[in-house]
Amino acid sequence: MAKLYFYYASMNAGKSTNLLQADFNYRERGMATMLFTAAIDNRYAAGTITSRIGLSAPATTFDATTDLGRCIADRHAGGPLSCVLVDEAQFLTPAQVDQLAQICDGAGIPVLAYGLRTDFRGQLFPGSARLLALADSLVEIKSVCVCGRKATMNLRVDDSGRALAEGRQTEIGGNDRYVALCRRHFAEALLG
């Protein structure tokens, strides 16, 4: 039986690098994959999954209106898919996560979804919440806080490096906008 995997972590933990390595492993063995990334993530080239260490691969973009089930079924009809990999999975809608689960259960294709668990306020993203509920396997990718403890939180900072506690849930950025911290240092930073 194919499984739905959710690989989650704080910012800068290597999620995209892990995804690209998994994709390479499948393709190296002659197996077809399909990659997705969020259209909203415009930090690098559109339609490309890019890791901080310089690896990249083309991907199909998705937004809240994308029927992932249909996209995957159409591609699978043209030649068997061995795996579907989704980057920035926190931006999936709950309905899209349901579609991915159906791809596993109905078509027998494993789905590996990589994303953030929580936003800069420590709140679950809707896509991540649904993945936590439905995934057959939950895998935490570790990142490190400045103190050396496991980083689990994503602190949003302004242009001066000051912690932000208010704002839209989604604001695209990298090291210039977010700092991965342990829960204790996250709370201390918000208190000032």
The whole-number pLDDT of residue 20 equals 97
Is 78 a residue whose pLDDT tops 70? yes
The whole-number pLDDT of residue 52 equals 83
Find out whether 174 and 44 touch, Cβ atoms under 8 Å: no
Give the list of residues 6+ apart from residue 158 with CB closer than 8 angstroms, or none.
164
As a whole number, mean pLDDT of residues 179-192 equals 89
Active site residues: 88
Half-sphere exposure of 120 (CA within 13 A, CB side): 22
Q: 185: annotated binding-site residue?
A: yes
Q: 133: annotated binding-site residue?
A: no
Tally of CB atoms within 10 A around 16: 22
Q: 77: annotated binding-site residue?
A: no
- pTM of this prediction? 0.91
Rounded CA gap, 8 and 142, in Å? 9
As a whole number, mean pLDDT of residues 66-75 equals 97
pLDDT tens figures, 82-103? 999 999 999 999 999 999 999 9
Q: 9: annotated binding-site residue?
A: yes
Rounded CA gap, 192 and 189, in Å? 5
Structural domains present in the chain: 4-142 (3.40.50.300)
Residue 175: which pLDDT band, with cuts at 50, 70 and 90?
low
pLDDT tens figures, 25-40? 999 999 999 999 999 8
